[in-house]
Amino acid sequence: MNAHDYALLAQEAYSAKPDIGAAGSASRAIVRQTAAGLVVAFPGTDNLPCVGADINIALMAVAGAGDVHRGFWDAWKAISAPVTSAIGGQPVTLVGHSLGAAIAIMAAVDMTLAGRAPSAVYGFEPPRVSPGIGVRTLLANVRVSLFKNGGDLVPDLPLGWSHAALLTHIGKPALPNVPDHLIARVIRSLSAA
């Protein structure tokens, strides 16, 4: 599988009935067995609880990772037990768009700290998750692929914070930049690459 295939799963996470968590919540995921192995995909912001998670930028100290965005961490922890149970001992790739990308990164942090690092993380239009480099350092041995489409501003927020890995820039900026954030645009840009 490639980034385009994982972006399609991130898109599916928006419309499919959640396998974990409840529709209408910020904490939900789909679980898919693919030819490349198990994938857990988290949707991005599409309801008020998601907005609440996005704007809760208070810091949460996570031993071994430093300070992280509390809203993202809390959204992950609300479903961490059933996600971990669904994964079992299998290798897993974590996938998400926007808020879902941030939750996938928080899941990778938690799993790595527990000694069960994911095989990979694919984040599309991810917001920054930490003001320090603790998350990036912790995940240095995990394949973390993060993508920013065109001129989207979401990956630049919160200002001054850090990403878990370097961003790969795809697509050409649209005017206005708002459409660059849409997962359909991300998929189109990955198709053209």
Interatomic CA distance for residues 91 and 19, integer angstroms = 18
Contact 177, 149 (CB under 8 A): no
Residues in CB range of 190: below 8 A, 6 or more apart: 3, 4, 7, 147, 170
Supply 192's token pair: 């053209």
Supply 97's token pair: 């768009």
Paired residues of 95 in beta bridges:
41, 122
Supply the pLDDT for residue 177. 66
pLDDT (tens digit, 9 = 90+) per residue, 165-192?
Answer: 999 999 988 777 668 889 999 999 999 8
| CATH architecture, domain 3-192 | 3-Layer(aba) Sandwich (3.40)
Over the chain (193 residues), the average pLDDT of each successive run of 10 is 97 97 96 96 96 96 97 98 96 98 98 97 98 97 97 93 95 78 94 83
Positive or negative: CA dihedral 79, 186, 144, 59: negative
Judge if pTM exceeds 0.85. yes
pLDDT (tens digit, 9 = 90+) per residue, 96-109?
Answer: 999 999 999 999 99
Interatomic CA distance for residues 66 and 151, integer angstroms = 29
Supply 14's token pair: 């928006």
Contact 75, 27 (CB under 8 A): yes
C-alpha dihedral over 126, 78, 30, 135, to 10 degrees? 30
Question: Which parts of 56-98 fold into alpha helices (H)?
Answer: 70-77, 80-87
Supply the pLDDT for residue 172. 87
Crossing angle between the packed helical segments 70-77 and 48-55, to the nearest 10 degrees: 130
